[in-house]
A and B are shown apart, each in its own frame.
Chain A
Amino acid sequence: MSELRFDQVSVRFGTGSRAITAVDDVDLVVPSGQVVGLVGESGSGKSTLARAAVGLVEPSYGRILLDGVPLDHRAGKRRPLQMVFQDPYSSLDPRMTVGDTIAEAVPRTAGNRADEVARLLELVGLDAARANAYPGALSGGQRQRVAIARALAGQPDVIIADEITSALDVSVQGTVLNLVRSLQRELKLSMLFISHNLAVVRYVSDLIAVMYLGRIVEFGPADQLLTDPQHDYTRELLAAAPRRGTTSSSPYPSQRTSA
């Protein structure tokens, strides 16, 4: 049981006439054990919403609840939410071995840390001997597996994956996505999966939310939303996704005006 709920969350940056509302009154539920895909173009507020969930930015309004309880971001507490970051080339400390990086995130109550690190590495499909390697010796896909193991080490209830495949080769994207999907099923994790790529979101998600200019414009079961989109922007996204070189005469400007 671990349901993540955004309750009328708004995030504003700046003050006065130059203020930007990055996230505008978002209600969103990630049901327990399900994957919610969050799609939208660059600047639509997807990452800001994720950062608010893990406490990297403070919501200007609204609450973020885990199983009905507001999240506590104070240091030292267990982090029931863990985030996998976008760029595996920069998210790992270059001066720390992969094993140490993962071990740091293992809670003290988890018993033997080395065993736990080995278990986590094998869980994400890496050789346990890799614990002694530095990130520089690993490929992008391997690094992202380490980043996933790092997130899992905190024994989270909910994983937030923020564009985790966008920095990887297309060939590696597939294997990482397969890993994420099988881990999610195996561990019964709730997951908020953020991407600008509709094909990627379609592959892993049970539910899909479409974000546009800071608002959730459509939310529903993946199949239904993809076959019968209700909102014009969702149709626009679907029409744009599979084809290349589409010239856009979109009525939806990506430029955000100050609100």
Chain B
Amino acid sequence: MTATASVSGAAASFGTHPWVRFAARRLGRLVGSVLVLVSAAFLMIHLIPGDPVRGALGPAAAQSVVDAQRESLGLNDPLWVQYLHFLQHLFTGNLGTSITTGLPVSDVIRDRLPATLQLAVAAFVVAVLIALPLGLAMGVLTRAGRRPRAELSFTSTTVVLAAIPEFLLAVGLVYVFAVTLHWFPVAGRGSASSYVLPVLALAIGPAAVLARICRVELLAVLQTDYLRTARAKRLPAVAVYLRHALPNAVTATITLGGLLLGGMVAGTVLVENVFSWPGLGSTIVSSILAKDYPLVQGVVLVYGAGVLLVNLAVDVILAVLDPRSTIRES
């Protein structure tokens, strides 16, 4: 009935349909974010002092050679002219060539991106697979103030794990499991076992945060009146938890899980450097040190686009799972 109504009224109410408004609002925000991202990627690296050409050619190169190279790269133009050139190239799909290696930036990204993506996605999957069952189980076990000691050890353990920065965790994992126990390789990307430590280093912190959130969300749902109603029906405990508690508890967990994935993308930068992982994270650090403008801009754009895409995906998934969130915003 509603479907036919919305079809017949589609022409008249095109601008007022909640989903259309949601899409328009979300796309507008995305465009704004992309503009900020592009400008920030350009300005950040250009405002850092230092000369990329001098860095690439070395301190022994003649000043005339450096000046000629700067002129040919357009680095002597005013900043806004360089910015417009950057935008112009960007819209034609040209990210420029690396100053230090002379390779096209898009080739470098194509080579390096898969390693970083594998790391981030694997870490996200592992974090969710640890956090959801752990958080839900702890929520059920510690409901209504039960097992206070289990709750204390859970909350204190997770707060410590969540507080350790991932690069420190990475160094600790390498020391224990690679250097001392020789279970896994110290660094590099090769066999499946080389993935274990970097993925764990990335996943443990977010998993701890997510498990805590998941537990608290479940506890809140368990106290609601409709859970009391479900118990009043004498449903089996499994039905009460899976059918009534779980769907209501996961909304916030998904939102925060998505935001954590965004943070994980940034975390790969640090972890990749600890493990000499041949991804974008090690590329961006070396290119910043070399002031390789085009390469830094290109990689920062990829990282930023990754975070924006994740946020967009989270918003869409949430809107589908919980239509109230789209309506509430308008």
Contact = CB atoms under 8 A, between A and B. Distances in A.
A136 B248 CA distance: 14
A93 B228 contact: no
B37 to A, nearest CB: 36
Contacts, number: 51
Contact of A93 (B232, B237, B248): B248
Nearest to A150: B229
B59 to A, nearest CB: 66
B230 interface: yes
Interface in A48-64: 54, 56
Contacts of A154: 233-234
Interface residues of A, number: 25
Interface in B210-226: 224-226
A210 B232 CA distance: 26
Given A85-B229, A87-B225, A90-B226, A95 B234 contact: no
B233 A76 contact: no
B236 interface: yes
Given A75-B236, A79-B234, A104-B235, A93 B324 contact: no
A93 B222 CA distance: 12
Query: In the complex, which of the residues A82, A96, A154 has the most CB atoms of chain B within 10 Å of its own CB atom?
Result: A96
B146 to A, nearest CB: 15
A82 B235 contact: no
A134 to B, nearest CB: 9
Contacts of B233: 79, 104-105, 150, 154
Contacts of A174: none
A94 interface: yes
A93 B235 contact: no
A93 B226 contact: yes
Contact of B247 (A56, A95, A104): A95
Given A96-B244, A136-B324, A91 B225 contact: yes
A92 B324 contact: no
Interface of A: 54, 56, 75-79, 82-83, 85, 87, 90-96, 101, 104-105, 136, 147, 150, 154
Interface of B: 224-226, 228-230, 232-237, 239, 243-244, 247-248, 324
14 contacts: A56-B228, A75-B234, A76-B236, A79-B233, A79-B234, A82-B232, A85-B225, A85-B229, A90-B224, A90-B225, A91-B226, A92-B226, A93-B248, A104-B235
